[in-house]
Structure 1
Amino acid sequence: MADSKLLVVLDDAHSTAQVRPLIPGGIHSRVLITSLDRLADLQGARAVVLGCMNEDSSLRLLSTIIGRARVDAELAAARQIIRICNGLSLALRIVAIRLLGRPHRPLACMADRLARADRLLDELTVGDLSVRGCFDAGYQALGPAPRHGMASTRRWHYRSLAHSKRASSAPLCWSSGSDAPPSRPRTS
């Protein structure tokens, strides 16, 4: 394998110790690692930090998965879905996969389902993909002090960045229960 040209993809790596044994030794091979952590102690690695998707990128992703004609036919509903997913690729991908499985379901119907803030986490699950799972994993990765602070608020939920009472305008965000504007969760 030392002389082979390989591309190894390691998704959702938790530590350098986890990925180091999986890195091929050949000079012609490359490794692509996704992680919520920086893995700064991985020698020779070059970090690329990805931000959230803008509306154009989100529309392209949605169009790629469910078809451009379907998005164009219900552009307003597609934009509402994108606003609710708030640039989080995992959330948008889950919604798109669900829509792909139901080709006759109007995008407006999905947008209405997502607009119910009390059910948003339930809606953002398909197969083994889950926004809730990412948040739970992030919560478990916190140290005891931050976890205790979050547990005492008992408020892991989605709420509007603008503190709006209109559910349809509530973009996806993670709140620790404080009144400060919530920060965006990290997702892969």
Structure 2
Amino acid sequence: MIHRTILNRVTNKIFNNYAKDSGKLLVHVGTGVTVIGASAQIGMLLSDRKMEKHTKKFLVNQEAITSGACIAMYYSICESVRIGVNKALEGGKVLTETVAKSIAGLNKENKNIKAEDWKTIFTKKEMKKGLSYNLEHIEETYFYKNSKDVLKKQIKEAAKKTSDIFQNYKSGVSILAVLAASVFAGNIAGPAIGNYLVSFPVKKDTK
């Protein structure tokens, strides 16, 4: 029986690692499933006793090369897309009007909130840390420090709500981006590279 403290540590680590980045979870789960599927396919070939050794070796080598290419392409493409999309989101380059207005709304002195006003909340230096960090650590920002004391409590509460809105948006976009990348990697790039690589041992074997 697994000790409760060990189980808690594992679940907490998983939560902390994936809670704010569903795209990362999708990449890792997808890669894991691809590895399991490839291993099962190779295992079936190896366990087939009726197949001749020469044929078995040939098919196992083909499957290993194809599967290896698919796994590598899947992970590298999906992870690259995830990182790129997250970087764009954290930098505020891809924001919906709702998210932008929520950030702009941190300025409680501005009664006429516009989406583009979000850019006045954080400095360029602060934006290098990303929106997630700035919203979660609003007290460290120049904007918060220079706000009126009477408004600071409201700003902190608004920043927490805005952080939740942004994280939900970020997770949704990240998932969609990774799904699109996984379709391309799993159905086009991976098989194409795998077939190209597998042609070398085939040519050598047929000589």
Q: TM-score, normalised by structure 2?
A: 0.26
The higher radius of gyration belongs to 2
Instruction: Flag the structure with higher helix content.
Output: 2
Instruction: Flag the structure with higher strand content.
Output: 1
Task: Considering Cα pairs closer than 8 Å and 6+ residues apart, tell me whether 1 or 2 has the greater RCO.
Answer: 2
